[in-house]
Amino acid sequence: MSLNHIRPWKNIYRRTSRQIMVGNVPVGGDAPIAVQTMTNTDTSDVAATVAQVQAAAEAGADIVRVSTPDESSTKALRDIVRESSVPIVADIHFHYKRAIEAAEAGAACLRINPGNIGDERRVREVIAAAKDHGCSIRIGVNAGSLEKHLLEKYGEPCPDAMVESGLEHIRILQDNDFHEFKISCKASDVFMSAAAYQKLAEATDAPIHLGITEAGGLVSGTIKSAIGLGNLLWMGIGDTIRVSLSADPVEEVKVGFEILKSLGLRHRGVNIISCPSCARQGFDVIKTVETLEKRLEHIKTPMSLSIIGCVVNGPGEALMTDVGFTGGGAGSGMVYLAGKQSHKLSNEQMVEHIVEQVEKRAAVIDAEMAAEAETEAAAAE
């Protein structure tokens, strides 16, 4: 929930969903919206896959999905699960037996695609394995692989066909007394995805995994995902998200977080507010921001930094950020700390000094959050 009593126009009322566990990560209910990505290594290459999982986790991924197309992948999964710091979801297509092997290997969740997992008997076997090994399940409906009978009924992939596919599989899971599931309804078309997700959100209280599938490359896929996922999240729909990009999984995680940060739904790391720059700039804004983005990647504390080229907007933005720098004249600018004007600084010293100030401020915020958590824990006792 993102509620702001001072600025009610920023409020987002999240749809009420059931909460399930994906390993040790809660999904749904009042849990933070979880960010996921997927590896693109050969899963049987344990070292490469674990390295990619860890890089994604370091970038903030809460859950990572791994494709398990064959037996050598499900064999490798045991070691991958053991060495990963985040829960692993096994991605299953076509061979229900891979789902059973993945459950035995310690997957936290099994993603099954109703369109290609096979008949109800096979799904029941997967459910039994999930129950035996404490896995959750994601029903992953995809517009590109709907069941034949639904394509015949609707003539082409459409939101109604996608939702019907999802609900048929929810029924199978519930008939088998299995309730630890979430569901996705992905399409590469933003309109189709958005319509399907809205219908789904009304038809079930299961946690919803959001995604625009095959969204494209880094720039086009980011925009498509921001529009599709952003609108749904703004409506309060979505308990976990994956941004699908033809790019490094770390980029998917970064984009996922940026979408959530833009909507005030989750905060992580430094949110840099910077101007596009123009002839008025007192220093090279673009180069400075590029450098600071890299230098501040290690900061996980949610905080804000404004880097503004001149006094047109600089002082105003700095009032609302933890650390700020506004360009001035004669090769120097003004530093703002916790929204207050603090001291003058030369442009040459700026990057080092800002990094130092951000680190100091992050330590203060961390200490405040720790004290708050301690007070809350004491009150709960």
Interaction site with ligand SF4 (CB under 6 A): 275-278, 280-281, 308-310, 312-313
Q: Which residue is nearest to ligand SF4 (CB)?
A: 309
The neighbour count for residue 330, using CB atoms within 10 Å, is: 8
CB 334, min distance to ligand SF4, A: 13
CB 326, min distance to ligand SF4, A: 8
- Residues listed for the chain: 381
E strand intervals along the chain: 20-22, 25-27, 34-38, 63-67, 88-92, 109-112, 136-142, 181-186, 209-210, 240-242, 270-274, 303-308, 323-327, 332-337, 340-346
Closest to 252 in 3D by CA, of 111, 63, 87: 63
Nearer to ligand SF4 (CB atom), residue 185 or residue 275? 275
CB 54, min distance to ligand SF4, A: 38
Nearer to ligand SF4 (CB atom), residue 96 or residue 325? 325
CB 12, min distance to ligand SF4, A: 29
Question: Hey, is 303 helix, strand or coil?
Answer: strand
Nearer to ligand SF4 (CB atom), residue 143 or residue 275? 275
Nearer to ligand SF4 (CB atom), residue 312 or residue 369? 312
88 contacts 77 by C-beta, under 8 angstroms: yes
Give the residue carrying structure tokens 């994956």. 242
CB 347, min distance to ligand SF4, A: 13
CB 320, min distance to ligand SF4, A: 15
Nearer to ligand SF4 (CB atom), residue 180 or residue 317? 317
The C-alpha atoms of residue 34 and residue 335 are separated, in whole angstroms, by 35
The C-alpha atoms of residue 214 and residue 114 are separated, in whole angstroms, by 18
Nearer to ligand SF4 (CB atom), residue 96 or residue 283? 283
The C-alpha atoms of residue 355 and residue 100 are separated, in whole angstroms, by 49
